[in-house]
Chains A and B, each alone.
Chain A
Amino acid sequence: MATYAPAHHSLPHGHGHHELPPVSHWWKRAGWWTASGIIFGLVIVAFFRAVFEQTPLWEAKTYVGIAAITGTIGFLIGIGCFDWWAGWMIGRKVDYHDHSLHGARTWRDYLRVNTDHKVIGVQYLVVVFTFLCVAGAFAELLRTELARPGQQFADGETFNGFTSAHAIIMILLFVIPAFAGLANFVLPLMIGAKDMAFPRLNALSVWMLPPAGILFLIGALIEPFSSGWTAYPPLALQGGIGQTLFQVGVQVAGASSIMTAVNFLVTIATMRAPGMTVWRMPLLVWANATTSALVVFGTPFIAGSQFMTMFDAVMGTHFFDSANGGDVVMYQHVFWFYSHPAVYIMVLPGFGIISEIISTFSRKPIFGYRAIAFSTIAIAILGFSVWAHHMYVAGMAPWLRVPMMITTVVIAVPTGVKVFSWLGTLWRGKIRLKTPMLFALGFLFTFVLGGLTGVYLGTVPVDIHLSDTYFVVAHLHYVLFGGAAFTIFAGVYYWFPKMTGRMYNETLGKWHFWITFVGMQLTFMPQHWAGMQGMPRRVADYDPRFADVNLASTIGSFLIVIGTVVFFYNMITSWRSGERAPWNPWRAKTLEWLVSSPPSIFNFDTAPQVVGSPYNYGVPGARHAIVFAPEEIGGESTEQGDRPIVVVANETVASTALLDEVRERAQERLWRFELIVPRGATERSAAERRLATALAVLREAGVVADGRVVDGGPLDAIAARPEDTHEVILATYRPGESQWMRHDMVDRLRKAADVPLTHVVVTRSEAREPLGGPAVTHLLVLACDAAGTPGLTDALVARADREPISVTVACPLGLAGATWSEEAGARRAAAVARVRAAVDRLHDAGIAAQGEVIDGDAAAAVATLIPVHAPAEVVLAEELAGSRGAAQAAAGEVAVTTLSTTTAGA
């Protein structure tokens, strides 16, 4: 495995790196700025309320809303997110490549603004797992209240606050940013980049999360927002300052997620390593690209919805006031236009993680790579056309229901394609049940159940019964716990060695999985039944007949807590004192595993070269990428042309199309080329001549190439390949023309070769075109009567055995007088036939040739054709030896020789 970690963990020199102040400096500054921001906000509101004579002067929601915004901005300024930009804005001299905030040398560097995507990734994960605890605590509170019928310790309002806080914090501060965090760490490494496209924006995104979470938390604690995470007006308008903080929090978290998404999209579009074509991108990259598009185009809708509710609540607007022309249902349209795609924002990155893990731990190529990639895109596009399936009973336009049902149900198809493809990947693999794989398989089981219940909820008549019942709660937790939380855990375990440089404890990991898996099923499985029976969601109290299922749910949820405690214990102890992780503990193929654990400060010294699919497990000699580094530390920058690519072609071997492909691959400077010509029914000598021509052209271009002719067909050629063949390039004629294609040779070779196969298609006429360049001597052969004779061919073949040649056969008719006479026409036709015969003979002999018929004499032919064909030499057949003088005069610099055509050997 080509892996490399630069030993020096110092920052690059050359741009005035200075010592950073200690962490406490930033936090003190953040404290002062936050306080000032809040005070500024309060003063501004008071000022404007006084100026515009708004009474009363004190109106809590307005003050709190504005102060929350200014306080957040103050915090971000104080912690240092805007320092560089501020310098730029006021016209100070700035270093565009300022890396003073990049990288972590001690744990303290994780506590300040940092522009290193790896540090940011870890910051994300620490923040989101902190909020997982907060949201989980709310979940346990509500499950405890629901353990028995009747009121335990929370009244309706408090209870509604629990559900709302649990949901919004889980969604906006756990699931969505957890994926952003994992991708932040992994994605740039995976595509061979040194960082994200906008490192400073990246830092800003992560630092916006804690304020957003704290706004939710303050809101939930002081005056709970209790209208659910969906915050439907008019109920949301009845909320107090908690609801206002909720509205601001959504904006802050949403802005963070839009900025991250823009960053990912630009990174993926512009920073892929050489050779990383879109079809070589790991599926995680596909998933994140698609998710980012969803975030960019969807999130503004939830922002719009929260702006409108906020204006209704604090400014007295009437968006949702039906007495004043407002529209209550409009909120739901706008809200779900984001929040349904948000469901895919919360699972598509998980699908990406699962694709990586299942392939790695099955040690098999991912089954149907393109199908998975396309299904991701299909889900994203369809995801924008299904929002109103949340509103079948909401009083929206009835005609909208059936179209929404169709699009909703259709989404099951690409989702099914993914599930089946993962199963196909498992089939005949070599499955290793490490913790990440356990979570991946647990995901598969759970998500299938959640996906199937999704079809119920998409089907209008069934949904009419199930809508807003516990069936929905069960469904959404099967997809979000199974689809998102399991995949996040899987991803954290999978990349833990890469992030921390240490291995997690496998035994504890397995305990975590089994406890969580059982707890999860126990919590949510019974809720299907409760929903079917008609238990509505979001109720603090319920009919006593639901007591048993609710108790089971509560017990299950406590099991999940135990599992999570095991997880945190494992993470913390392993991070502190786990076993040192090797670079590639899973023997995976993607790029992040080809660098050290943890990776060096700028990931790669030199951009790696991507040479194949990321999932070629079991393919002998296949590799995804090569990491360049000095040889003395185990890198491969000295590796040049040492692995063979086998080129299989017969009549097409000396064609421009094929040789161009080879030349292009040769530019990767990693390969030598072995041209194997299966001669089939053609003459061995002809095949050898073609091969010699091709080799001459390649060597002249500086390509390391070798070749031989073998008896038999392409399968024999493959059998004769070198053992460590990296890849096969096969050239054939077009489907209709090709004998090999008729025998399905492309697929058969692909199977026989066990390595990637590139198919180059060459047309018949292309294959016969003489090659240019100094390596091949191009002859302009003038012959008239001798053109069709074996004598001429033999003479040229004899010449071709000495050096690679290509030929233009030209017949000068030497017409005197009318060129349109019947006689002239007949002579011309005869000449064309002779020239064609000559070209065919030459081609059969393995010499590329083309023909011309010229009305004029030899001298005229030379004058006409030299500019067209640029021959290296003009050859006159014996019969035209007489015009040598004239021809030489016309040829100028180009040598003119004569050729005996009578020495024909029979």
Chain B
Amino acid sequence: MATEALGHGHHDGVVSTDVSKAAKLSQGLLGMVIFIGSEVMLFASLFTAYFMARYNIAEGNWPPLSSDGEPFELPKLITGVNTVILVFSSFTIWYAEHSLRHGNRKGLIRGLGLTLLLGATFLVIQINEYAHLGFTPADKAFGSTFYTLTGFHGAHVFVGLTILTFCFIRAKVGDFSPTKMTPLAAGSVYWHFVDVVWVLLYILVYLLS
């Protein structure tokens, strides 16, 4: 019974973690999932802005003309490649987690390292894309929504990379075990979320424009 599980808590002063064991639910992971719910709504608010700006423009005129009088053009192909890179990083982080679950620490480090590398590549390509797009955030509402959506996503990739970097450091110093891996699991869920958002963004903003 849970009473006993809590009972030992007061001897060693364990406050929360033993309770979570009793509840058979990782609090860290649950917290991360709820927080991701919040993040989803943040992107929903930005997508609202995007779609309202798009809806206000007559059918067939999307993307609109930029202030130079040219229609906005987005590099679908190179971003497509970038999308594949990011999606692939979801598999590498899964591989890292999977390795840890089966006691393969080398796989864990390798998987994490590869994920970091892929994520960083994505960011570099994205920044390079910004430099060559030919329009700025101040170029009509199209530019504003485009940069805000992709920029917020980029910031989330950066946060995800930061979390995973710390996980990488912890893994290097020998932290994490199949039973104690909440930060890694939470970071991994966050990373999957970042990927899913990107796929949606790529489809809605790049492909369906």
Which A residues form the contact surface with B (CB < 8 A)?
11-15, 88-91, 93, 96-97, 99, 102, 193-199, 258, 262-263, 265-266, 269-271, 273-274, 296-301, 303-305, 307-308, 311-312, 315-319, 321, 324-327, 330, 333-334, 337, 602, 605-607, 609, 628, 667
Indicate whether B172 reaches chain A with its CB closer than 8 angstroms: yes
In the complex, A324→B142 CA distance in Å?
Answer: 9
Residues B13 and A602 in contact, CB atoms below 8 Å apart: yes
In the complex, A199→B27 CA distance in Å?
Answer: 12
Residues B57 and A330 in contact, CB atoms below 8 Å apart: no
Task: Give the residues in chain B near A90, CB-CB below 8 Å.
Answer: 169
Task: Give the residues in chain B near A273, CB-CB below 8 Å.
Answer: 2, 6
| Interface 9-mer from B43-51, B90-98, B105-113, B190-198 | B43-51
In the complex, A99→B9 CA distance in Å?
Answer: 13
Residue of B nearest to A90 (CB): B169
Task: Give the residues in chain B near A299, CB-CB below 8 Å.
Answer: 38, 41
Task: Give the residues in chain A near B9, CB-CB below 8 Å.
Answer: 194, 602, 607
Q: Provided the pairs A319-B141, A325-B140, A607-B3 are in contact, do residues A300 and B44 lie with their beta carbons within 8 angstroms?
A: yes
Residues A194 and B19 in contact, CB atoms below 8 Å apart: yes
Task: Give the residues in chain B near A11, CB-CB below 8 Å.
Answer: 13
Task: Give the residues in chain A near B143, CB-CB below 8 Å.
Answer: 317-318
Task: Give the residues in chain A near B14, CB-CB below 8 Å.
Answer: 97
In the complex, A274→B42 CA distance in Å?
Answer: 36
Q: A52 → chain B, closest Cβ, in Å?
A: 10
Q: B35 → chain A, closest Cβ, in Å?
A: 5
Indicate whether B37 reaches chain A with its CB closer than 8 angstroms: yes
Residues B49 and A304 in contact, CB atoms below 8 Å apart: yes
Q: Provided the pairs A274-B3, A311-B148, A325-B57 are in contact, do residues A319 and B49 lie with their beta carbons within 8 angstroms?
A: yes
Indicate whether B10 reaches chain A with its CB closer than 8 angstroms: yes
Residues A324 and B41 in contact, CB atoms below 8 Å apart: no
In the complex, A528→B30 CA distance in Å?
Answer: 46
The residue that B31 contacts in the complex, of A197, A271, A303, A667, with Cβ under 8 A, is A197
Indicate whether B77 reaches chain A with its CB closer than 8 angstroms: no
Q: B23 → chain A, closest Cβ, in Å?
A: 4
Q: Provided the pairs A12-B12, A602-B13 are in contact, do residues A296 and B148 lie with their beta carbons within 8 angstroms?
A: no
In the complex, A239→B39 CA distance in Å?
Answer: 29
- 22 A–B pairs (Cβ distance < 8 Å), ordered by A: A91-B169, A194-B9, A198-B31, A265-B31, A271-B19, A274-B1, A298-B41, A301-B42, A304-B45, A307-B148, A316-B138, A317-B143, A318-B143, A325-B57, A325-B64, A326-B141, A327-B141, A602-B10, A606-B3, A606-B7, A606-B10, A609-B3
Indicate whether B15 reaches chain A with its CB closer than 8 angstroms: yes
Residue of B nearest to A198 (CB): B31
Task: Give the residues in chain A near B64, CB-CB below 8 Å.
Answer: 325
Contact with A along B171-188 (1 / 0, CB 8 A): 011010000000000000
Residues B42 and A303 in contact, CB atoms below 8 Å apart: yes
Q: A158 → chain B, closest Cβ, in Å?
A: 32
Q: B57 → chain A, closest Cβ, in Å?
A: 7
In the complex, A299→B38 CA distance in Å?
Answer: 8
Indicate whether B20 reaches chain A with its CB closer than 8 angstroms: yes
Q: Which of B92-134 contact A (CB under 8 A)?
A: none
Q: Provided the pairs A304-B49, A311-B144 are in contact, do residues A263 and B31 lie with their beta carbons within 8 angstroms?
A: yes
Q: A814 → chain B, closest Cβ, in Å?
A: 52
Q: A581 → chain B, closest Cβ, in Å?
A: 24
Q: Provided the pairs A14-B12, A88-B166, A304-B42 are in contact, do residues A266 and B34 lie with their beta carbons within 8 angstroms?
A: yes
In the complex, A312→B137 CA distance in Å?
Answer: 10
Residues B48 and A334 in contact, CB atoms below 8 Å apart: yes
Residues A325 and B53 in contact, CB atoms below 8 Å apart: yes
Q: Provided the pairs A303-B45, A606-B10 are in contact, do residues A266 and B27 lie with their beta carbons within 8 angstroms?
A: yes
Contact with A along B131-174 (1 / 0, CB 8 A): 00000011011111101100000000000000000100110110
Residues A195 and B15 in contact, CB atoms below 8 Å apart: yes
Residues B30 and A337 in contact, CB atoms below 8 Å apart: no
Residue of B nearest to A324 (CB): B140
Task: Give the residues in chain B near A269, CB-CB below 8 Å.
Answer: 23, 25, 30
Task: Give the residues in chain B near A296, CB-CB below 8 Å.
Answer: 34-35, 37-38, 41
Indicate whether B208 reaches chain A with its CB closer than 8 angstroms: no
In the complex, A88→B175 CA distance in Å?
Answer: 10
Residue of A nearest to B29 (CB): A266
Q: A51 → chain B, closest Cβ, in Å?
A: 13
Residues B10 and A605 in contact, CB atoms below 8 Å apart: yes
In the complex, A263→B13 CA distance in Å?
Answer: 20
Q: Provided the pairs A198-B27, A602-B10 are in contact, do residues A97 and B56 lie with their beta carbons within 8 angstroms?
A: no
Task: Give the residues in chain B near A199, CB-CB below 8 Å.
Answer: 15-16
Residues B48 and A99 in contact, CB atoms below 8 Å apart: no
Residues A308 and B148 in contact, CB atoms below 8 Å apart: yes
